[in-house]
Amino acid sequence: MTATSKRRTRPVLHAATVVALLAGSVYFTIELRKDEQAKAPAIQTIVDAPVAGKGGGEETAQKWERLKNPERSVLRDGKGGILATFTDGARTATLTGPSRTFTEPATTKTRVVTENWVRLMPETWRSGAEKEQWFQEWYNKYRGSEEDDLFAMAFQYGDQAPVKKDAEGVSYAGDASFGPINPNGSAGNDLRLEESDFYDYLGIPYTFRNGTTAKPEAMRARSMDCSGFIRTVFGYRARYPLMASDAGTGDGLPRTANGMARSKVGVSVIPLKGIGDDGRPTSIDVLQPGDLLFFKLDGRTGERLDHTGIYLGTDTDGHQIFISSREEADGPTIGDKGGTSRLDGNGYYAAALRSAKRL
């Protein structure tokens, strides 16, 4: 072998060695991640991607765009990717951030992998608000932040979720029940009682803005029905104003699914046209992660809408998924017990969807 041949061979050997080492590194990284996920709690959050829009000159190239149906402002990065969406009249904002995976192995194989982080702004959005100080301070704080958002909070009440306590020792998160056993019910027929709100779950009295003080019932401890779940996440945790009941005035979130759907709070992205089969929306493409969904499931409730949940987006199989507290699963779930948690197709919940709004 000539000297020239030797010089040519060495880089090739070095390159082969580097490739082999990288391949080994990737393999062990994947295997370690599999092992870590296997040991994780049943409901889990995995951060596995960089924050969008945080690199170098990307921030200087950011661009605001106005869109319609509904009226909203979209912030894009230098490559046209969406960094955030803000809807006129709503406090809910969707920011792009680190990727997370939400699962619930006890009841479903569904995996929701999302880069959406849904948060409440301190004020409702309006065109041009990006120039206002309150927004600039808020956005600078939460852009790329991994502080608990509405999705993280929602999954802190599902199957096997660990208990979390505040500085006063109140357990504000952890596996929640739907409600106590109904002595006159049976499996598939009102097995558990409704009417458990966030203060029942917490086990502490709560005074609303109108001065009404609600007291928890001992039998409802650690329980929240479907609307109680929404009020826990959006209200008690994220601090959206709450009403003591469906009655009264103000901009607070009412007590029941029907009250929420028919109230003036938020922005109606899928207007309520009726409770019958002809009231089912023909398209749900307008939905955005974090939207509240309203269903008509039970004919015994007359004209009332009787279930609500939070839209999560699409799962890894392309199905549109939501989370809600349900009697069959005995608490918040994305699972299939009592009906598949999909909005596409013609399943139990998909056929019962009637409206949606963005708080």
35-50: per-residue pLDDT in tens? 433 333 333 333 333 3
d(CA 123, CA 125): 6
Is the confidence at residue 7, as pLDDT, over 80? no
Supply the pLDDT for residue 249: 66
Scored b (16 or more CB within 10 A) or e, 226-263 reads: bbbbbbbbbbbbbebebbbeeeeebebbbbbbbbbbbb
Is the confidence at residue 28, as pLDDT, over 70? no
**For the chain, how far is it from start to end, CA to CA, in angstroms?**
75
Give percent of the chain above pLDDT 70.
82
Q: Could you report the per-residue pLDDT of 161-211, keeping only the tens digit for each?
A: 999 999 999 999 999 999 988 888 767 777 788 899 999 999 999 999 888
d(CA 135, CA 17): 51
Write out the DSSP string of 269-299. Answer: EE----SSGGGS-S--TT--TT-EEEE---G
Q: Could you report the per-residue pLDDT of 284-343, keeping only the tens digit for each?
A: 999 999 999 999 998 888 999 999 999 999 999 999 999 999 998 999 999 988 788 999
Mean pLDDT is lowest, of 14-18, 245-249, 264-268, 355-359, for: 14-18
Q: Phi and psi of 339, rounded to 5°?
A: 135, 130
Supply the pLDDT for residue 189: 74
